[in-house]
Amino acid sequence: MSLDAVIRARRGRLDLDVTLAAADGETVALVGPNGAGKTTVLDAIAGLVPLTTGRVVAGGTLLEDPVSGVRLPPERRPVAYVFQDLLLFPHLSVLENVAFGLRSRRMAAGEARRRAGKWLDRVGMADATHRQPGSLSGGEAQRVALARALAVTPTVLLLDEPLAAVDIGARRGLRRELRRHLDSFAGVRVLVTHDPVEAAALADRLVVIEHGRVTQEGTPAAVRAAPRTPYAAELAGLNLFRGRAAGSTVRLAGGGEIVGADEVDGDVFIVIRPEAVSLHLQPPEGSPRNVWAGIVRHAEAEGGRVRVEVDAPVPLVADVTAGAARDLGLQRGTPVWASVKATEVAVRPV
């Protein structure tokens, strides 16, 4: 593995204990709620946060090990970092920004500028060499920051919310461009993101971090198919519950029960897709096995659909069409009935 890290560190009230391994050519996305420790993991790999215990090895080189007293300073690590705020040097031109890392590695000024120019050309910024960072758009600054990071040919590339400084309208195209550049980089790529679309589009593997611990990891498809925590389910857009099954009935740890189609016994996870939740203004007719009275807590349009959070004995998230939301008059405080067919309840062993 080109990155093998056991990161145990403290930052304020955060107690971080994360094991992370990644291979050459792999993009790993760290996802999790705010304050979970994602950026601290990047900072520890980069040498900006010291380890209390653990170790960091990149490309076969030991970067840090408190037991043996090894701790390479950030500037000597084969690591490049694209910060969330990009942190371009405001007093340097675009060309000099990209050349900075090469110059700091004692490359001759002329050669550093030549290589910097080639990288700017690769990211589509060849015409901006003499501009100042303050004149760049968010997307242009992101390209320059990426060129500066890749120019030093690192073993590990770290990216913290790489598209945060980019306007929403420009993100789709820049996301595709970023994926192309990441695919062309032979080393390890580790990025932090809160955007599930960004994670799915850029990453080969997700690592879910909550409260300073890894709670799940796997391909984006695997995490979506079988989320193991409420956060992972929210990331995947699913309803996730934990309970104990006896036959087809699952009593939930948080109260309430759900009926599934299969006979199961023992501790289980329940997964219900938001589109499988039906909403009604009156108790529904027919044969849904799961029916709860509730109140709309929040409703938000997402494209042609509306995501509705329902406060009920079993709290649910439902996806309904915009037309159905209008017909039902769904808004905060609207009383509704939520129903789910037993055949739509997925039961997975813990």
- Clarify whether residues 36 and 130 are in a common domain: yes
- Clarify whether residues 179 and 251 are in a common domain: no
In this structure, are residues 239 and 308 in contact, taking their beta carbons and an 8 Å threshold?
A: no
**CA separation for the pair 101, 106 (Å, rounded):** 9
- Clarify whether residues 93 and 157 are in a common domain: yes
**CA separation for the pair 171, 12 (Å, rounded):** 33
The one-character DSSP state at 314 is S
- Clarify whether residues 244 and 230 are in a common domain: no
What distances in angstroms separate CA 19 from CA 24, 41, 129, 196, 300, one per listed residue?
17, 10, 40, 22, 37
- Clarify whether residues 148 and 24 are in a common domain: yes
Residue numbers of the domain that contains 299: 237-349
Q: Pick from 173, 205, 234: which residue ends a domain?
A: 234
In this structure, are residues 207 and 214 in contact, taking their beta carbons and an 8 Å threshold?
A: yes
pTM of the prediction? 0.79
pLDDT tens for residues 235-278? 877 888 889 999 999 999 888 999 999 888 999 889 899 999 99
For 44, the enclosing helix (H) or strand (E) is: helix 38-46
What's the confidence (pLDDT) of residue 176?
84
- Clarify whether residues 160 and 267 are in a common domain: no
The domain spanning residue 270 has which CATH number? 2.40.50.100
Provide the domain count of the chain. 2
Contacts of 78 (CB under 8 A, 6+ apart): 58, 59, 61, 154, 155, 156
pLDDT tens for residues 195-229? 887 888 899 999 999 999 999 999 988 998 888 88
Residue type, 265: D
- Clarify whether residues 316 and 205 are in a common domain: no
pLDDT tens for residues 178-191? 888 899 899 999 99
